[in-house]
Amino acid sequence: MKQEISNLILTPTEMAAADASSAQSGIPSLDLMERAGRAVAASALRHFPGARRFAVLCGPGNNGGDGYVTARALSEAGAKVVVHYLWDVNALKGDAKRALELCPLPPQRLELYEPARGDVVVDALFGAGLAREVPETIVNLIGRVEQAGVPVLAVDLPSGVCGRRGTVLGAAFRASHTVTFMTRKPGHLLLPGRSLCGDIEVFDIGIPHRIIHSVAGQTRENTPNLWRNLIPTPGEETHKYRRGHLAVFSGPAGKTGAARLSATAGLHAGAGLVTVAAPPDAMADNSAHLTAVMLHEINDMGALRDWLESAKLSAFVLGPGFGVGKKARDFVLALDGRPLVLDADGITSFRDHRALLFDAYAGGATQLVLTPHEGEFGRLFPELAEDAELGKVEKAVAAAKLANAAIVYKGADTVIATPDGRAFINGNAPPWLATAGSGDVLAGMIGALLAQGVPAFEAAAAGVYLHGEAARRAGPGMTAEDLAKAAGAKLAPLG
């Protein structure tokens, strides 16, 4: 029985290791190239049945070898095909050289390709392994292809996209379809790479799944089978306290809406009780809008400490609309390492005092979830944000280790990371999730899962995914209020 690999994401280095291990196990590497090239050809014929000509652009490595196989398979199917090569075709080695020898079509220099009406470009230049900026020749070619409006089918990854980071290395093709092999790569899910891939097909070329598992690191695509067993399902004996008590800290009068969004989302996402803890001047604002969510006045540190000692509180959300400054830092430190989602103003409050936060949550099980967008990430982790050699996954993992926290590095390509090195890339967020208040809703959803006893990393990963599903249910044109009400829509089927 094959081991499941659908969630695995291999870096280009890991994929190369899988190819090597497969060859060592006795599977001819040329056979893998043959299957890859024929899969690309089949995709090209399926998606572009009206193509007048396929222009297969082949690079100097194994991605180019896949291209030569593709060209041969397309020709055998009766399609009109031209082949163009980059650099010195006589320098090809190994399987790529053999694929060229088996291809009956005479290759021409890349500079001679002129995009024509009815063409389809098969981009087999660099694939996922590119690590430096594309040469000027390719930059010019990409421009000509784009200007001509010629569709592109990419082999493995559009050339110019970094397979590890998803960044554009000078310039990149914008593909309408991409065919990759065995698993997705980070560049398929991270922006801007994801936006350049078009529809992605993952084709199994026959590398044993045990080998894929053996080389895979700790990066996965965020889907429910990674955490669904940890989402509690209410039983007949369940009562509200067993489902956890979530506390959300409110900002002052006039800045209370964000906390209420978090609290409402937390209630819909399964917390048994939710309380908004508000300063005296915000009590009236909050009272006028809250029903099932409770309200508790917290005036100062003394009142907070008394409440922590007397109330059954399971988890906390601090940051949405709270205000930046010493009060936020003092409240966080008073929580004494309890389960906490720190968002927005809460994160920014530690910009120049991050050692206080890191020390408060150092050691032991991870209890802290940090949910920064790009700007907030840069404020708390400037040395990581400024390192251009690191990808988003690597930055998130490094930040998680520094803070002993689950990191939710937000964006259309949100990455969730944990100090032990695991990282999930989320891909289900619809574009309309980019609306004011959606981050407040996410904080409340994660807080609700923490309150129910879900470990911090899995609570963060589940919260991010369910946030995307709630947005899909709410539909285009939704507001954050709509999103908060939809926050529990997918919980029952996943339980």
Over the stretch 59-117, which tens digit does the pLDDT of each residue have? 998 999 999 999 999 999 999 999 999 988 788 899 999 999 999 999 999 999 999 99
Residue 3: its pLDDT value, please? 60
- pLDDT tops 70 at residue 343: yes
Burial class (CB in 10 A: 0-12, 13-18, 19+), 63: buried
- pLDDT tops 70 at residue 288: yes
pLDDT band of residue 163 (cuts 50, 70, 90) is: very high
Residue 239: its pLDDT value, please? 46
Asked if 328 and 242 touch (Cβ cutoff 8 Å), the reply is no
pLDDT band of residue 494 (cuts 50, 70, 90) is: low
Asked if 81 and 75 touch (Cβ cutoff 8 Å), the reply is yes
Give the whole-angstrom CA distance, residue 408 versus residue 442: 10
320-335 mean pLDDT: 97
Residue 1: its pLDDT value, please? 37
- pLDDT tops 70 at residue 400: yes
Cis peptide before 135 (omega within 30 of 0): no
Give the whole-angstrom CA distance, residue 193 versus residue 209: 26
- pLDDT tops 60 at residue 2: no
pLDDT band of residue 346 (cuts 50, 70, 90) is: very high
Residue 116: its pLDDT value, please? 95
> What are the tens digits of pLDDT across the range 36-56?
999 999 999 999 999 999 999
Residue 495: its pLDDT value, please? 42
387-412 mean pLDDT: 97
Residue 320: its pLDDT value, please? 98
Question: How many Cα neighbours within 13 Å face the side chain of 222?
Answer: 30
Q: How much of the chain exceeds pLDDT 70, in percent? A: 96
Strand partners, 119: 53
Closest CA to 304 of 346, 441, 313, 453: 313
Lowest mean pLDDT among 126-135, 214-223, 330-339, 456-465: 126-135
- pLDDT tops 90 at residue 491: no
pTM of the shown model: 0.94
> What are the tens digits of pLDDT across the range 238-258?
545 567 999 999 999 999 999
The pair of structure tokens assigned to 342 is 């720190």
Residue 236: its pLDDT value, please? 53
Residue 32: its pLDDT value, please? 96
End-to-end CA distance of the chain: 26
Q: How much of the chain exceeds pLDDT 90, in percent? A: 91
- Residue 168 is classified by DSSP as B
Asked if 411 and 186 touch (Cβ cutoff 8 Å), the reply is no
> What are the tens digits of pLDDT across the range 446-472?
999 999 999 999 999 999 999 999 999
Asked if 441 and 468 touch (Cβ cutoff 8 Å), the reply is no
Q: How high does pLDDT run on average in the chain?
A: 94
Please give the order of strands across the beta sheet that includes 294-297.
Answer: 219-221, 423-425, 415-417, 405-409, 368-370, 340-342, 315-318, 245-249, 273-278, 294-297
